[in-house]
């Protein structure tokens, strides 16, 4: 069941644009203009497009056909970008894999996705328990080494350069799989989110409207397996701009590259914004070239938004949505400084609504689960129609929406305010407590550097909120002081049972606090 690129009223979407084909056209049109900058080396559009077609022809020569899967487990690099776009040019579906997953989970992902080719970088070989021997779907000689030499592996550069650079002449259809992004894989068996070419074409179009064009210089500092990276990197390439790649994020290097390359666009996750803003070189760095900044993947706290608006030139857009798609909201922090606690208003083509536990639509101002749809919706969870069906909600008009699992409310101006994940909501004495409300209060205390509120077992209330705080250096407030301070600002039903200090809060590679890990020690014996 393919759900993507239907308009909000169920009518057909705009004309389809073949994204890898558009990138190839940029190669012909942009010539010597840099397409990729990586570790100080500039790859022209002409050379990038030629390498991409070589990769496509190498894959086709190995027997890869449209919609076959090509997996990549590697650090960000020029080779990664060429492999990704080259596989798309061959009509293949790319499976970017997370280096944060375990060897067992990676084996499951590679086999579950039916991947026929795997490219890996040397620093991630230790994540393959069998060094590529337990993958029954792999074709002969289908193991590609991004940056090393080893028996049983084809060196990427030699493999690529042995192929022709002619147009592969593969017709790309809108419903072909573009990529499969697996859920974080931190616990349990991850599920594969399959996005098709139609959905990615929509992303390219929408980010073009946001301001990405042939003059864009995007600094990419998040991994390629993250949708956060793809939603800006791919449009930058499709519109003929320049992508500056960081192998690994470091705040000082981000600032250096921003100034040296006159970067004008970046997509960062909240924890990266915090690290860049806190760096001692921030105020010494020339960031005047910036025109667009984006944030997504995790909540961006109001204090960080205020700092970005005050200290960092250019427009700041926060995007709320799912990797699965369905609907998104956009907050222009620079245009709406009084709405920074929200995640903005529904994006163009997006229809965002709220429903109660029984699936009934709620009125403005009421709290409910966020559901949404737009022209950008995943095709489904790969080979898991049951999971796909579980996230669908049918509107009274019979239109399909995706359930987000997030609780929220709309204000009188149509701005969406998020409260919590449904699974993270704390039910204490029959009252719903939204951890985000408590975290917002604690964030205002000068001694609090980072905060997560979780529910822990309570004989009296069933569960009760506990604050886990990372203290600012030199903080003087005790746990009891912070608890009393916060509770003086909270309603009776919201009050914290206590505060515990921790050194760090566990986060995924894209900055989401892993609350399941935080809750586990308190609930395992309950």
Give Cα 18 distance to the centre of its chain: 22
- List, for residues 232-272, the tens digit of each pLDDT value: 999 999 999 999 999 999 999 999 999 999 999 999 988 89
What are the structure tokens assigned to 260, written together?
């040296």
Rg (CA), the chain: 23
pLDDT for residue 189: 61
Which CATH number does the domain 1-13+195-421 belong to among 3.40.50.300, 3.30.2130.10, 1.10.10.10, 3.40.50.12780? 3.40.50.12780
Q: Look up residue 188 and give its DSSP letter.
A: S
Q: Which residues pair with 195 in a beta bridge?
A: 179
Q: Using CA atoms, how far apart are residues 459 and 155, in angstroms rounded to an integer?
A: 61
CATH 3.30.9.30 fits 19-171, yes or no: no
- List, for residues 462-500, the tens digit of each pLDDT value: 889 999 999 999 999 999 999 999 999 888 878 999 999
- List, for residues 125-139, the tens digit of each pLDDT value: 998 877 667 899 999
What are the structure tokens assigned to 152, written together?
């049983």
Q: Which of 393, 299, 398 is nearest to 342 (CA)?
A: 299
Q: Quick check: 374 pLDDT over 80?
A: yes
* Burial label, 507 (beta-carbon count in 10 A; 0-12, 13-18, 19+): middle
Q: Do domains 1-13+195-421 and 425-523 have the same CATH topology?
A: no
Q: Which residues pair with 283 in a beta bridge?
A: none
Element (H, E) at 386: helix 385-390
Q: Using CA atoms, how far apart are residues 66 and 75, in angstroms rounded to an integer?
A: 26
Q: Quick check: 515 pLDDT over 60?
A: yes
Percentage of the chain with pLDDT > 90? 78
| Residue 148 three-state SS | coil
Q: Using CA atoms, how far apart are residues 117 and 110, in angstroms rounded to an integer?
A: 9
For residues 379 and 351, is the Cβ–Cβ distance under 8 A? no
Give Cα 16 distance to the centre of its chain: 24
Q: Using CA atoms, how far apart are residues 93 and 96, in angstroms rounded to an integer?
A: 10
- Find all residues with CB under 8 Å of 238, minimum gap 6, and list them: 19, 22, 23, 26, 204
- List, for residues 320-363, the tens digit of each pLDDT value: 999 999 999 999 999 999 999 999 999 988 999 999 999 999 99
Q: Using CA atoms, how far apart are residues 125 and 182, in angstroms rounded to an integer?
A: 19
Q: Using CA atoms, how far apart are residues 185 and 127, in angstroms rounded to an integer?
A: 13
> pLDDT confidence of 8, banded at 50, 70, 90?
very low
- List, for residues 102-152, the tens digit of each pLDDT value: 788 899 999 999 999 999 999 999 988 776 678 999 999 999 999 999 999
Q: Which of 187, 80, 159, 75 is nearest to 124 (CA)?
A: 75
CATH 3.30.300.30 fits 425-523, yes or no: yes
- Find all residues with CB under 8 Å of 524, minimum gap 6, and list them: none
Q: Using CA atoms, how far apart are residues 259 and 264, in angstroms rounded to an integer?
A: 10
Q: Using CA atoms, how far apart are residues 57 and 52, in angstroms rounded to an integer?
A: 9
What number of residues does the chain have? Answer: 526
- Domain range summary for the chain, segments of one domain joined by +: 1-13+195-421, 19-171, 425-523
pLDDT averaged over the chain? 91
């Amino acid at each position: 069941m393919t759900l993507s690129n239907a308009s909000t009223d169920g009518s057909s979407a705009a004309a389809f644009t073949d994204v890898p084909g558009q990138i190839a056209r940029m190669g012909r049109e942009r010539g010597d203009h840099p397409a990729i900058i990586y570790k100080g080396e500039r790859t022209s559009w002409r050379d990038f497009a030629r390498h991409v077609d070589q990769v496509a022809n190498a894959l086709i020569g190995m027997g890869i056909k449209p919609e076959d899967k090509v997996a990549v487990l590697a650090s960000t690099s020029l080779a990664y970008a060429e492999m990704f776009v080259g596989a798309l040019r061959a009509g293949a579906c790319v499976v970017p894999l997370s280096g944060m997953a375990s060897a067992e989970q990676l084996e499951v992902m590679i086999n579950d996705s039916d991947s026929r080719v795997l490219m890996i970088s040397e620093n991630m070989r230790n994540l393959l328990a069998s060094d590529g021997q337990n993958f029954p779907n792999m074709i002969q000689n289908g193991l590609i080494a991004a940056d090393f030499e080893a028996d049983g592996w084809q060196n990427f550069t030699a493999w690529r350069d042995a192929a022709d650079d002619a147009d592969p002449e593969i017709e790309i259809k809108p419903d072909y799989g573009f990529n499969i992004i697996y859920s974080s894989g931190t616990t349990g068996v991850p599920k594969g989110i399959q996005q098709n070419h139609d959905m990615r074409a929509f992303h390219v179009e929408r980010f073009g409207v946001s301001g990405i064009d042939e003059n864009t210089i995007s600094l990419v500092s998040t991994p390629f397996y993250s949708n956060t990276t793809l939603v800006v990197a791919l449009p930058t390439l499709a519109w003929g701009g320049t992508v500056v790649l960081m192998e690994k994020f470091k705040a000082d290097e981000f600032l250096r590259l921003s100034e040296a390359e006159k970067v004008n666009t970046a997509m960062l996750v909240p924890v990266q914004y915090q690290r860049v803003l806190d760096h001692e070189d921030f105020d010494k760095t020339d960031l005047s070239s910036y025109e667009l900044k984006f944030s997504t993947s995790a909540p961006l706290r109001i204090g960080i938004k205020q700092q970005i608006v005050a200290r960092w030139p250019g427009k700041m857009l926060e995007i709320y949505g799912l990797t699965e798609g369905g609907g998104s909201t956009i907050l222009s922090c620079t245009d709406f400084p009084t709405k920074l606690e929200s995640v903005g208003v529904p994006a163009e083509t997006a229809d965002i609504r709220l429903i109660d536990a029984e699936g009934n639509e709620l009125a403005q101002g009421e709290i409910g689960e966020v559901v949404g749809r737009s022209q950008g919706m995943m095709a489904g969870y790969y080979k898991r129609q049951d999971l796909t069906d579980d996230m669908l909600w049918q509107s009274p008009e019979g239109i399909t929406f995706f359930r987000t699992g997030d609780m929220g409310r709309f204000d009188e101006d149509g701005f969406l305010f998020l409260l919590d994940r449904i699974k993270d909501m704390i039910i204490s004495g029959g009252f719903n407590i939204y951890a985000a409300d408590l975290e917002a209060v604690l964030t205002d205390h000068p001694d609090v550097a980072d905060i997560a509120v979780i529910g822990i077992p309570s004989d009296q209330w069933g569960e009760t909120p506990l604050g886990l705080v990372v203290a600012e250096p030199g903080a003087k407030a005790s746990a009891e002081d912070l608890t009393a301070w916060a509770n003086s600002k909270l309603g009776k039903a919201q009050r914290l049972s206590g505060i515990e200090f921790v050194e760090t809060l566990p986060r995924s590679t894209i900055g989401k606090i892993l609350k399941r890990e935080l809750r586990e020690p308190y609930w395992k014996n309950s």
